[in-house]
Structure 1
Amino acid sequence: MKHSLARGAALAALAVTLAAPAFAALPIQKWQQANGAQVWLIESPALPIVDVQIDFDAGDRRDPLDKAGLASVTASMSRKGLEARNGQPALDENQLGEAWADLGAGYGVDAGLDRMSFSLRSLTYPDLLNRAVQLAARQMGEPAFPQALWERDRARSIASMREALTRPGTVADQAFQKAVYGTHPYGNYATEEALNRITVQDMREFYKLAQPCRAKASVVGAVNRQQADQIVSTLLSRLPAGNCQPQAAVAEVPALTAPAENSIPFASAQAHVLIGQPGYKRDDPDYFPLLVGNYILGGGGFVSRLSEEVRQKRGLSYSVYSYFAPGLHAGAFTLGLQTRPDQAAQAVQVSRDVVRRFVAEGPSDAEMKAAKDFMVGGFALRLDSNRKLLDNLANIAWYGLPLDYLDTWTKQVEKVTAADIRAAFARKLQPDRMVTVVVGGAQVAPTRQ
C-alpha cells in the first residue's frame, strides 16, 4: 500500500511539474466562511492531488521580547504528538510519522517572520483524502506539546546554536539583523537564554493566536469549491473559536538616521560582508520597479551590476548579491559577499559606490531589456510545481494581492521604466545611511558623505 501510494504521489508530482505552465491562466476563487476564515482556491482537476496552506498572524513578530524563538518552537513542537480527545487515542511523534506514511500524505508547520503556516498535501482519492484531512485536523487542534520532548529538543537547539556561533556567517547575520532592525521584532533571534525561558505553557498560550476567524487558507488541486470549503472547515474544526478580537498592532521598522559600521574580529579564511538598511513593505506600490531594479543591481547573479564591478573587473569576490525581503513590515535590503580579509575594505567601498551610483543614475537601456527578457521569459518557472503555485496563491492571500495577480505579473514587469526604477530606489534606499557589518578582515572605512 505504502509503495503504490508513494509511486502515485511521485508520478503526480512529476505530472504537475510538466503541466504547471498552464496553471497561470486558471482563475482564483475567494470566499469567506461563516467562522470568519477566508479561503482562496485554484481548481486543477487534471491530477489527483491537493495542496493546502493555512496561515495565521502568529510568526516571529509576535514573539515576546525576552522569548525570541517562541513562534518557531511552538510550530515545531505542535507536531510532536496528539492528546487523547473525543474517544481518540493519544499519538506520539513516531506513531504520527507512521500514520502519515500509511496515508502517503504530508503535513507540516513552520513559522516565519510574519506568519505561522500549516500545510497538507494528499492524493484526492476519497478515502485517503478524508483520512488525511481528519488526521491533519487533529494535529492542528489537539497538539500535546510533550514536556519531555521539549526538554530534548531545547538541548539539541542550544547545542546547534553554540556550534553555529563558531561560523562567521552566523555572527554576521545576527549583527546585521540587530543593526538594521533595532528593537523591532524582525531583528530578534533565538538565544540560549531565550530558549531556557520558554515553557510548554508559553507554547500553549501562543498557539491560541491560531483561531479559525483569523485563518487565511489557500487550496490548489483536484477539488471544487464545495470540497475545498469542506476541507478547510474540517481542518479548522478542532481549533478553539475564541472571541476573535483584533490582534495588537506591531510597530513599523524605524528608518536608519545615520550610517553604522561594525567590524567584528574573527579567525576565518573569508571575511563575511553585509550592507543594507530597512527596505519596504510587500504592499508598497513601488514593488515591481524595485523587483526589476534589484535584478539589475544584484539579484541577477553573474549578470548583475554588482557582479560586474566586484567580481569580474576586480576579482574581489566569487559571488556578490543583493535582495529585498518585503513583509508585513519593511524587510531589509541586503547586499552580501565574501572576500579575502585583506580585501574586505576595498570590496565594501566598491559595493557602496555601485549602490550609490545605481540609486543616482538608474539602469541603462541595455540592462532594462536584458532584465525584462529574463524575468518575463522565466515567469513559468515561478509556477512549475504544485508547491510553487501554492506559495504564490498563499502570498496573494496573505498580502491581499489582486486575484488576477498571476495573470498580470508579466505586464507589470514589462511596463516598468528606467525612470520608475530610479525614482523607486531614490525613495527607498539611502546609500549614506546604511549598515555595514564585516566579520573578519580589516577595519571598515567610514561611509563617505
Structure 2
Amino acid sequence: MSDRSAPRYTLFGLALIAAVVGAALLLARPAQSDNASKPAPAARPANSLQSLAELDGKAPSRRQLNIQHWNTAEGARVLFVEARELPMFDLRLTFAAGSSQDGATQGLATLTNAMLNEGVAGKDVTAIAEGFEGLGADFGNGAYRDMAVASLRSLSATDKREPALKLFTEVVGQPTFPEDALKRIKNQLLAGFEYEKQNPGKIGGKALFANLYGNHPYAHPSDGTAQSIPGITLQQLRDFHGKAYTAGNAVIALVGDLSRSEAEAIAAQVSAGLPKGPALAKPAQPAEPKPGITHIDFPTKQTHLMLAELGIDRTDPDWPALSLGNQILGGGAFGTRLMSEVREKRGLTYGVYSAFSPMQVRGPFMINLQTRAELSEATLKLVQDILTDYLKTGPSQQELDDAKRELAGSFPLSNASNSSIVGQLGAIGFYNLPLTWIEDFMQQSQALTVEQVKAAMNKHLAADKLVIVTVGPKVAQQPLPAPTDKNTAQPLGVPEH
C-alpha cells in the first residue's frame, strides 16, 4: 500500500490519489437529465457557483477534462489538462522510486526523496525554501511504497513561472545531498521510530504488512527501520537518485493556466533536467500468505484489530465492482454493513473501515478498528462473520443503488481543483491506465448489478484467508452486548490518540 504518511522533515507531504489508489471512489458521472424539452437556461460564467435551488435534484455540473498526452525526448510520459480559471498551474512528477525499489537497503527511497530540497548548487535548504516562497510557489514531495513524487504549484505569469521552474528542476534533477542534512533527517527518522513504539496502531500495521507480504518488497515499512537507516550513505542516495529519478522513469502531470505549447516547453525543461535512464521494472507479484492471527501484547485499554488479505493490482478489470462492493461493506461512513453492525447497533467502536488499495502489484484489502480490550475477541469474530455473510449474500439492490447514487453525487469534488486533477493524471500515467479511465470507471460502476458485485467480491476475497494482527492487553473476555435497532448514544470504546 502506498504509505500515506508524509515524511517528517522540512517537506510538504502529499496526500496521494487515495489516493493515487483511492481517487476512484470520488470519480463519478453526473446523472442524466430528462429535461431536454425544457427551455435552456441563460448563459452563465463557466466558473460560477451553483446554488442548491438551481440544482433542483440534479447532480452538479462537472468540469470537462480534455487530457492531452505526449512523451518527451528523454522518454517521460506527459499528461496535461488546460484550465484557465486561475492564473496558476500545478506540476507533479511521479517516479517508480518508492520503497519497493529499496532492495536490501530499507529506507533508501524515503531518504533520497527527503533530501531533494536540502541543497542544490549555491543554495541550502533555507535558500531553496525562501526561493519558492518569494515567487509565491509551493514545493512538495513524498515517498511511498510504489512511488515517489515531487510537485510544484506556481503562478503562471512568466516572471514567476520561469524562475520557479528553474529552481524546481534543479531540486529534483540535481540535488547535492549535503551531509549535515542527511544526519539531521536520519535523526528525525530514528526519533520517529522511537515514538512509534508507543503507538499500537503503528506497531500493528508494520506487523500486518510483514505477515501479509513475507519476503516481498511491500513487506517492509516505507521509512525503513532503526537498524537500516543509520548505515545509509551519501553515495547510496546519489546512486539511487541516478537510477530512479530518470526521465524514462517519470510521469509528468500538468494542470492549469497554460497553453499546449507552454506545457510542452515546461515538460521538456523538466525532463531534460533529470538524469538519463530507463523506467524501472515493477515488483513481482507477492505470494499468497498463510492465514492466521498474531497477537502483540501492549498495555492499553483498547485493542487494535487489523484484518487483511491480498487484493488486486491497479489495472485489474474488477476494480469498479470491488470499489463499489467495498463501499457497501465498510468503505463509507455511517450506513455501511460494518458500521451498522459494529458501531450503530452495538457501540463497540468509534469507527470501522474496510478498503482495497490496488497498487502496481496486488495491494492489500484491509479492515481496521479498535475496541475495548475485554470485548476484542468477540468483536473480531463479529467482523469475520459480517464479512462471511456479505460474501455469501452480496449487497441488496437498495444498498447498490444507494452506493451508485453516492458515487455519482461525489463526482464534482473529484475535479473541483487543479490539485485533485493533477493527482488523477499522475495516477493514470503511473499505472498506465487509459486516458478515458475516469469515464470508463463511472460508466462501469453505474452499470453494475448485484450479482456482478457479489461475484467480484467472492473472486478476490475469502473470509478464511484473512491475515489478522491484534494489538492490546491480555485480559479476561466478555460477551458482546445485544444488538439494538436504535443507534447507540455513546460507543463503548474510547478512541486513543
Question: What is the TM-score with the length of structure 2 in the denominator?
Answer: 0.81
- The correspondence of residues 68-107 of structure 1 with structure 2, limited to 5 A, is 68-83=106-121, 90-107=122-139
List runs of 5+ in structure 1 lacking aligned partners.
Answer: 1-14, 84-89
Percent of pairs identical after alignment? Answer: 33
Matched, 1:230 2:253: no
Give the alignment partner of residue 228 of structure 2, picking from 194, 204, 219.
194
List runs of 5+ in structure 2 lacking aligned partners.
Answer: 1-45, 51-59, 478-497
- The correspondence of residues 417-436 of structure 1 with structure 2, limited to 5 A, is 417-436=449-468
* 1:420–1:26 CA distance, 2 compared to 1 (3 A): same
* 1:125–1:249 CA distance, 2 compared to 1 (3 A): closer
- The correspondence of residues 35-434 of structure 1 with structure 2, limited to 5 A, is 35-65=74-104, 67-83=105-121, 90-189=122-221, 190-208=224-242, 209-242=244-277, 244=278, 247-256=280-289, 258-434=290-466
1:248 to partner: Cα distance: 4.2
What whole-Å deviation, never above 9, does each CA across 1:402-446 have from its counterpart, x for those lacking one?
22223344322211111111111111112101111110144899x
SS of structure 2 residue aligned to 1:262: strand
Query: For 1:78 and 1:181, how far apart are their aligned partners in 2?
Result: 29
Equivalence for 1:5: none
The one-letter amino acid of 1:174's match is K
Q: Which has the higher helix share?
A: 1
SS of structure 2 residue aligned to 1:363: coil
SS of structure 2 residue aligned to 1:50: strand
Query: For 1:196 and 1:330, how far apart are their aligned partners in 2?
Result: 31
Q: In 2, are the aligned partners of 1:438 and 1:444 still within 8 Å (CA)? A: no
The one-letter amino acid of 2:154's match is S
Q: In 2, are the aligned partners of 1:344 and 1:441 still within 8 Å (CA)? A: no
Query: For 2:283 and 2:405, how far apart are their aligned partners in 1?
Result: 39
Query: For 2:47 and 2:330, how far apart are their aligned partners in 1?
Result: 31
Q: In 2, are the aligned partners of 1:140 and 1:236 still within 8 Å (CA)? A: no
SS of structure 1 residue aligned to 2:311: strand
Q: In 2, are the aligned partners of 1:263 and 1:438 still within 8 Å (CA)? A: yes
Equivalence for 1:6: none
Q: In 1, are the aligned partners of 2:330 and 2:336 still within 8 Å (CA)? A: yes
Query: For 2:429 and 2:260, how far apart are their aligned partners in 1?
Result: 16
Q: In 2, are the aligned partners of 1:51 and 1:220 still within 8 Å (CA)? A: yes
Aligned length: 420
* 1:103–1:16 CA distance, 2 compared to 1 (3 A): farther
What whole-Å deviation, never above 9, does each CA across 1:106-136 have from its counterpart, x for those lacking one?
1222211111112111010111101111111
The one-letter amino acid of 2:306's match is L
Query: For 1:293 and 1:229, how far apart are their aligned partners in 2?
Result: 40
* 1:382–1:43 CA distance, 2 compared to 1 (3 A): same
The one-letter amino acid of 1:80's match is E
Give the alignment partner of residue 33 of structure 1, picking from 69, 72, 76.
72
Query: For 1:360 and 1:204, how far apart are their aligned partners in 2?
Result: 52
1:300 to partner: Cα distance: 1.4
The one-letter amino acid of 1:308's match is S
SS of structure 2 residue aligned to 1:301: coil
1:155 to partner: Cα distance: 1.3
CA RMSD of aligned residues (A): 1.9
Query: For 1:415 and 1:370, how far apart are their aligned partners in 2?
Result: 13
Q: In 1, are the aligned partners of 2:73 and 2:268 still within 8 Å (CA)? A: no
1:23 to partner: Cα distance: 5.8
Query: For 2:476 and 2:262, how far apart are their aligned partners in 1?
Result: 59
Q: In 1, are the aligned partners of 2:72 and 2:271 still within 8 Å (CA)? A: no
The one-letter amino acid of 1:247's match is L
Query: For 1:150 and 1:444, how far apart are their aligned partners in 2?
Result: 48
Q: In 1, are the aligned partners of 2:87 and 2:156 still within 8 Å (CA)? A: yes
SS of structure 2 residue aligned to 1:27: coil
SS of structure 2 residue aligned to 1:30: strand
SS of structure 1 residue aligned to 2:66: coil
The one-letter amino acid of 2:66's match is P
Q: In 2, are the aligned partners of 1:24 and 1:407 still within 8 Å (CA)? A: no
1:38 to partner: Cα distance: 1.3
Q: In 1, are the aligned partners of 2:47 and 2:85 still within 8 Å (CA)? A: no
Question: What is the TM-score with the length of structure 1 in the denominator?
Answer: 0.90
Q: In 1, are the aligned partners of 2:283 and 2:360 still within 8 Å (CA)? A: no
Query: For 2:146 and 2:419, how far apart are their aligned partners in 1?
Result: 20
The one-letter amino acid of 1:117's match is V
Query: For 1:329 and 1:295, how far apart are their aligned partners in 2?
Result: 22
